[in-house]
Structure 1
Amino acid sequence: MDPQPASSPTGFYEWNPNEDDVLICRAVREETPDVKTFVFAPRKGRHFTYQPGQFLTFEFEISGETIYRCYTISSTPTRPDTVSITVKRVAGGPVSNWLHDQFRPGMMLRATGPMGDFSWTVKPTQPKYLLISGGSGITPMMSMTRSAFDLAEIRDTLFVHAARSPADLIFRDELDFMARRNRSIRVGYICEGDSPHEAWSGLRGRLTHGALTALAPDFMDRVVFVCGPAPFMAAVHAVLAAAGFDMSRYFQESFRFEDLSPAEQEAVEEAADELSTDITTYRIEFAKTRRVVDCPENITILDAARRAGIRLPSSCTKGLCGTCKSRKVSGDVEMSHQGGIRQREVDQGMILICCSRPRSDVVIDR
């Protein structure tokens, strides 16, 4: 007989992607004109267990190409029968446009996870929180807030969301409802301008120090979680730092190398430059593009590709999310991952290039 899956604290069996990584879409909901929520359930009766703020990595087959993408879970673990992601359409984005235009209830995707530590549940409990989100960066904050609401937690939560217009305020009705029913939850919005059918009467513009003070007068006393586009997070970080905020109580979510600060990007480059004369350099060939780069044995294949100007799909750069998963045609690597790849995939020749260092010349199917 096949081994039974692990049982959750509720007595129900947990969803385990190592046993069955296929999820079925149960519903598609339009949140704003360019944002949709996709609701998934396992093929078998299983419950999802995760921390609010964690993400899943999905595998997409689009136009004959396998693409991996990380999406933060927007649903709450207090409702474990389904799991949801909320996706904004990105101009030219192959995955977001395919999801919006082609994906329907009943269709299936492979997924792994949940993963990530961007959650207030994995930090020491604090009395007061400030959740700041911009655009589709609302998803981890929504998962945390929904969880607090369902559990009737007395957790002082101030949720500030920024959007282009009132029509772009994702989950606006639900946030207002939760704030009305749970006095521990307060919500504030800031919009850059009006929408075609609504003149915005609230706070306008960008999230400056003045705007933040108006929305959260006691922000200096709170633990801050931030998620949104890279420029938005950089602006919030700068505002808080200039105000003298204790940055040890600041946490932000970032999936992409492009979202790193200039200092962090420079650190990546400097680490790659720390080469000595006894370091062996190997040849890395990307079979589909016929690009070849030199990769010293002490840096990752992804870092070597970036130094050569090759942009490859990646997110966490820590071997966690699986976005950079690639097929190794030949050669040997040393891979140190954090759960972003399964053993059966390794056995099939897959590697995560963000955490793989060459031990010979290598050919990658990219």
Structure 2
Amino acid sequence: MARYNLVVVEKIHEADDTCSLRFELPAEVADDFAYSPGQFVHVRAVVDGAPVERSYSLSSAPQVDPHFQLTIKRVESGALSPFLVEQVQRGDRLEVSEPQGRFFDENAGPARHYLLFAAGSGISPLYSILKWLLGRERGDRVTLVYASRCESGIIFRAELDALAAAHGERLRLVHVLSRPAPGWTGESGRLVADAIERLLGPRDAGGLPEIAYLCGPEAFMASVAEALEQRGLAPRDIRRESFATAEAVSADALDDETTVRILPEGTAEDTPVAAAPQTELTVAIDGEEHSIVPQPGETILAALQRAEIDAPFSCQEGTCLSCMCRVEQGAVRMRRHELIGLTPEDLGEGIALACLSKAEGTRVRVSFEDV
């Protein structure tokens, strides 16, 4: 995963605890920073003498915005966000990775009704997706339901209201406050199933198929997803982006009952692989190859981190898809996970997530190249 030192050319205060940073992209790195709606980048900085890295979503939209922008909400106990929100200024340099993630599907088929549900700073990737959808003028309809604590905490408030005014027939914007001040006339309360169904109304009378994108705290997304399934959406049509950093999965927990076996593309499912007490794992990444021996209890990602091999990752729980790799030899066991955005076609092509997989067999090779 390549990283570059980029200059902050503008800092925008979006709310009391949130800012957006816009970066200069020199011509020689512009191709590396081509991105899709809803992607994120890794940001690395030295804070109090120690290097810290976190991922943040891009809030700019490709082919729509002339700038490259990410948005950060300060987390009181955060290792990096307070530094970025409070101390970074125009002219500073930050180490930024190439864009990552496969949250959004740039559907080239028929028009759809997009249901976007955001809570707090979860608006960032959905704001990118929203602008891109409205910009392509294909006939899609969008409903954005945005949950915030209070009016002053609504990120991109003016911009969202302007989009709603400009695209009234295609965009329906609903703000929901959990702690409204006296005088608030909009929606309020928790987004439980009954409230969600009331806000959305009947399924699209125009016949547009519905697909949903969710971003926010895990409890929020679980509640919304349950309501959308009751509405009739298939689980595959409910996509989630998680900002949570979960504890790393232990390979000891990846048994046959809780995993799916992934083999190189074109290999029969029942193909045996040579087994031995010790597995040699070869990894192709960033134009180089590394050979390591995973220790007991290590996932592929954990083994790479122990060997100080710079592999892409973010959430470590299988929702961001940034640690996708391709199995080229041997086999891996990957935990079954209801939130994984991999398709059966991906699995058939040998695609696995390093954070949820362990190597299986004497010789295993995976590649992070061109996945």
TM-score (norm 1): 0.67
1:191 to 177, 190, 194: 177
The equivalent residue for 1:104 is 89
Letter aligned with residue 202 of structure 1: G
Residues 293-333 of structure 1 show CA distances to partners (whole Å, capped at 9, x for unaligned) of: x932773363999xxxxxxx9524679648xxxxxxxxxxx
The equivalent residue for 2:53 is 68
The equivalent residue for 1:172 is 157
Residue 60 of structure 1 contacts residue 67 of structure 1 at CA under 8 Å; is this kept in 2?
A: yes
Distance 1:140 1:353, change over 3 A: closer
Letter aligned with residue 110 of structure 1: E
Letter aligned with residue 212 of structure 1: I
Q: Percent identity?
A: 26
The equivalent residue for 2:117 is 132
Residues 244-284 of structure 1 show CA distances to partners (whole Å, capped at 9, x for unaligned) of: 43222111112545399xxxx7x97630688xx953499xx
User: 2: CA distance between counterparts of 1:249 and 1:321?
Assistant: 20
Distance 1:138 1:232, change over 3 A: same
Pairwise mapping of residues 46-125 of structure 1 onto structure 2 (< 5 A)?
47=30, 48-79=33-64, 81-121=66-106, 125=110
Q: Secondary structure at the match of 2:133?
A: helix
1:279 to 263, 267, 277: 277
Q: CA RMSD in A?
A: 3.9
Distance 1:142 1:86, change over 3 A: same
Residue 299 of structure 2 contacts residue 355 of structure 2 at CA under 8 Å; is this kept in 1?
A: no
User: 2: CA distance between counterparts of 1:184 and 1:65?
Assistant: 47
Pairwise mapping of residues 123-272 of structure 1 onto structure 2 (< 5 A)?
125-182=110-167, 183-195=169-181, 199-218=183-202, 222-258=210-246, 270-271=253-254
User: 2: CA distance between counterparts of 1:258 and 1:300?
Assistant: 16
Bigger drift between 91-100 and 146-155 goes to 146-155
Letter aligned with residue 160 of structure 2: L
User: 2: CA distance between counterparts of 1:29 and 1:116?
Assistant: 24
The equivalent residue for 2:7 is 24
Residues 178-235 of structure 1 show CA distances to partners (whole Å, capped at 9, x for unaligned) of: 111112111111111224xx63211111111221122211358521111111111111
Would you say how many aligned residue pairs link Structure 1 and Structure 2? 291
Q: Secondary structure at the match of 1:70?
A: strand
User: 2: CA distance between counterparts of 1:105 and 1:356?
Assistant: 43
Residue 257 of structure 1 contacts residue 317 of structure 1 at CA under 8 Å; is this kept in 2?
A: yes
The equivalent residue for 1:296 is 296
User: 2: CA distance between counterparts of 1:303 and 1:192?
Assistant: 42
The equivalent residue for 1:13 is none
The equivalent residue for 2:268 is none
Unmatched segments (≥5 aa) in structure 1: 1-16, 283-293, 306-312, 323-334, 336-351, 360-366
Q: Secondary structure at the match of 2:236?
A: helix
Q: Secondary structure at the match of 1:68?
A: strand
Unmatched segments (≥5 aa) in structure 2: 258-274, 281-293, 306-312, 324-331, 333-353, 363-371
The equivalent residue for 1:363 is none
Distance 1:192 1:50, change over 3 A: same
1:38 aligns with 2:21: yes
